[in-house]
């Protein structure tokens, strides 16, 4: 029995699909849709039709979203807020010790995904069980 694997990448403009049939690759490119599931389904149906494979017989499915990476790179994602534990409001600026130039005092920090004015602290306590 042949292995049928599908990989889908949802981008801002197009949704790309690659269908692997025991090493043979069939690709499809369809327009991305506002409801991303519609574009994904259309891409899968297009690739499967071209390969003569029933979509319900696909063994593996992988999904990626270039659209989310683009939103990060272009800084044009959804307006976002962060609700965090009291005392952790500034953790996005503070960051970690893991950086390429640990001792570079002039290193530029990236712009936080959530501006400080949209970060809110909540007083909370947790037990040893995490509740």
pLDDT in tens, 89-113: 998 888 777 777 778 888 887 788 8
Instruction: Answer yes or no: is 61 within a domain.
Output: yes
Asked if residue 15 and residue 65 are part of one domain, the reply reads yes
Quote the domain boundaries for residue 91: 82-122
Asked if residue 87 and residue 37 are part of one domain, the reply reads no
Question: Which regions of the chain does DSSP assign to beta strands (E)?
Answer: 4-10, 14-21, 24-31, 60-65, 82-85, 119-122
Q: Note the helical H segments in the chain.
A: 36-51, 66-74, 91-94
Contact 69, 10 (CB under 8 A): no
pLDDT in tens, 69-92: 888 788 787 888 999 999 999 988
- Checking if the pLDDT of 59 tops 80, the result is yes
Predicted structure pTM score: 0.58
3-state SS class at 6: strand
């Amino acid at each position: 029995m042949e292995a049928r694997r599908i990989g889908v990448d949802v981008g801002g403009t197009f949704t790309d699909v690659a269908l692997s049939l025991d090493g043979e690759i069939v690709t499809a490119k369809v327009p991305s849709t506002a409801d991303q599931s519609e574009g994904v389904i259309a891409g899968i149906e297009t690739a499967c039709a071209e390969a003569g494979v029933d979509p319900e017989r696909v063994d593996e499915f992988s999904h990626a979203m270039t659209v989310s990476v683009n939103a990060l790179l272009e800084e044009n994602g959804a307006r976002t807020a962060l609700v965090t534990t009291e005392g952790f409001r500034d953790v996005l600026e503070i960051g970690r010790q893991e950086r390429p130039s640990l001792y570079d005092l002039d290193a530029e920090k990236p712009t936080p995904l959530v501006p400080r004015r949209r970060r809110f602290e909540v007083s909370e306590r947790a037990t040893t069980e995490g509740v």
